[in-house]
Structure 1
Amino acid sequence: MQLYPINSGNFKLDGGAMFGVVPKSLWQKTNPADANNMIDIAARCLLIEDSNRLILIDTGMGDKQSDKFFGYYFLWGDDTIDKSLKHHGFHRDDVTDVFMTHLHFDHCGGSIQCNKNKTGYEPAFKNARFWSNKDHWKWAIQPNNREKASFLKENILPMEESGQLNFIELPKTDILQNSELGFDVFFADGHTDKQMIPMLNYKGKTICFMADLLPTVGHLPIPFVMGYDTRPLLTLTEKERFLNLAADNNFYLFLEHDAHNEIITVQHTEKGVRLKDVYSCNEIFSK
């Protein structure tokens, strides 16, 4: 197995929304805001090359939305999925599976693109199977008013219409051992219903793709929960359980949204689980 970071594009989000009720005087120490109170956010995806499979975890926003839409998110940098895949010697047509942690637009928007005539939509990965789970899919296609703006039908429905949509099995506990894609999955319901956190065994290390369970290093303290989470009290318990597992077992946490910290480990302290070490993807994946 070989792993590659795939940078799908950077953007900015309101710092207050990213940290909920936590005062700015606290969160700006780790996530400094600009004059508009916006903080740097990445959409760092992960590519898994394993035998004859090429699995992409999440796909970022994509590029099919309007200029007005992207104007809300202050895009910065020149990273794209295609550039990043090419850098590692791949093309999007090589991807066999696209695993989506959840179906918010900044995690799955790149899975679907406009067709050539701009009259409709089609899969951006024509040879891939798309993976979600039945509970989250139902949650996304019948969205609550809180999340309706994050579940965009043009990102979601074409997956089913293409015939490429598949569902991962739901576990009896919160961890599905050795899923159909060859890695474990931790299920979390605080951010959105049945978000999936992949946990990969890689060269003796456990690599965890943290999605929105832990967006940035600044979110390590248990009460530091996003305003976007639909069930923040549940996030508290899920995050505490996972971070304790991570500290106990020296998990390597791959941060999808932290623009400046790629992979971290954590440790137990008197204040709870806190940062231990920071690594670049190259340090971990090239060993």
Structure 2
Amino acid sequence: MKIHIIDTGFFKLDGGAMFGVVPKVLWNKQNPADDKNLCTWAMRCLLIEDGSKLILVDTGMGNKQDDKFFGHYDLHGDATLLSSIEEKGFSPADITDVFLSHLHFDHVGGAVQFSRDGSRLDPTFPNATYWSNEAHWQWATHPNPREKASFLKENILPLQESGQLRFVENGQSPFAGITLVNVDGHTEQMMLPVIEYKNRRIIYCADLIPSSYHVPIPWLMGYDMRPLQTMEEKQRILDQAVSEECILLFEHDPVYEAAIVENTEKGIRVKERGALKDFLVE
């Protein structure tokens, strides 16, 4: 197995939304806001080579939305989903599987693109099986008013219409060396891949712990549907990360790819953070 970090650019979100009830005087020291109270965040995906499988985990925001949409989020940076994949020596046709942690636009947007003539929306990866789960699919395609703006039908429905969509059954991973943790605090049945790699266990945290700044249990996003459940789920994952010396991999941290954590008098905190390769022995 070989793991590649896939950078898909940066975007901005309101700092208060990203840190919930945490006072700005605290979170602004971690990720300073601009004059519009917006903080910069990464959209960091994974590409996993494993035998005949080439598995992409999440897809970033994509590029098919209009200027008005991108104006809300200030998509920026040199990297894109496809340029990062190509930089690793692969093409879209090489991807065998696309695993979607959940279907919010900044995780699934790159899964679909316009056809060459612009007449229709097609899966970006023509030979890939796209993986979600039935409970989350139903949640996303019949969205509640609060999440409706995050579940865009143009990102989701073409996957089903293409015949390339499959559902994970009973939380059982379709991939060797990868197990799944299902969590419900952020959104219904979000899936976190836990990857056995180089004698370490890597937890891809998706939006349960979006950045290293969100490791303290009360540091939650305002976007979470069930914040008290998020805290319980974070505690369980962080306890596992301490006891098993897992590497936490952050999808949205603007600076740090990964971290390891430890118990302290104040609770579980970051012990060390850096690039994923910093925590792996070759």
TM class by shorter chain equals: over 0.9
Q: Which amino acid aligns with 2:258?
A: I
Residue 58 of structure 1 contacts residue 99 of structure 1 at CA under 8 Å; is this kept in 2?
A: yes
SS at match of 1:261: coil
Give 1:286 deviation, angstroms.
Answer: 7.5
Paired with 2:9 and 2:274, the residues of 1 have a C-alpha distance of 20
After TM superposition, the structure 1 = structure 2 runs for residues 114-125 of structure 1, keeping only pairs within 5 Å, are: 114-125=114-125
How far the C-alpha of 1:284 sits from its partner, in A, is 4.3
Letter in 1 for 2:138: K
CA contact under 8 A between 1:4 and 1:285: conserved in structure 2? no
Displacement of 1:282 in angstroms is 3.6
Q: 2:228 aligns to what?
A: 233
Tell me the CA shift for residue 283 of structure 1.
Answer: 3.0
Q: Deviations over 1:187-221 (max 9, x none)?
A: 11000000000000001000111100001111111
Q: Does 1:56 align with 2:50?
A: no
State the percentage of identical aligned residues.
52
Q: What is aligned with 1:266?
A: 261
User: Quick one: distance in 2 between partners of 1:205 and 1:141?
Assistant: 36
C-alpha spacing 1:81/1:263, structure 2 compared with 1 (3 Å): same
Q: Does residue 199 of structure 1 match 2:189?
A: no
- The secondary structure found in structure 2 opposite 1:240 is helix
CA distance in 1, matches of 2:243, 2:34: 36
Find the partner of 2:218 among 223, 228, 231.
223
Letter in 1 for 2:31: N
Measured against aligned partners, the alpha-carbon deviations of 1:20-49 in whole angstroms (never above 9, x if no partner) come to 111001111211111111111000000000
Distance (Å, rounded) in 1 between the aligned partners of 2:244 and 2:26: 28
| CA gap 1:106/1:131 in 2 versus in 1, 3 angstroms | same
Scaled by the length of structure 1, the TM-score of the pair is: 0.96
Q: Which residue of 1 aligns with 2:244?
A: 249
CA-based RMSD of the aligned residues comes to: 1.1
Matches within 5 A, 1:1-287: 1-171=1-171, 176=172, 179-182=173-176, 183-284=178-279, 287=282
- Is residue 257–residue 274 contact of structure 2 (8 Å, CA) maintained in 1? yes
What do residues 43-68 of structure 1 show as CA deviations (whole Å, max 9, x unaligned)?
Answer: 00000000000000000000000000
CA-to-partner distance for each residue in 1:140-187, whole Å, 9 max, x for gaps?
A: 00100010000000000000000000111224xxxx5xx112211011
State the Cα deviation string for residues 106-164 of structure 1 (Å, max 9, x = none). Answer: 00000000112222210000010000001000000010001000000000000000000
Q: Which TM-score applies when normalising by structure 2?
A: 0.97
Structure 2: state its 5+ residue gaps. none
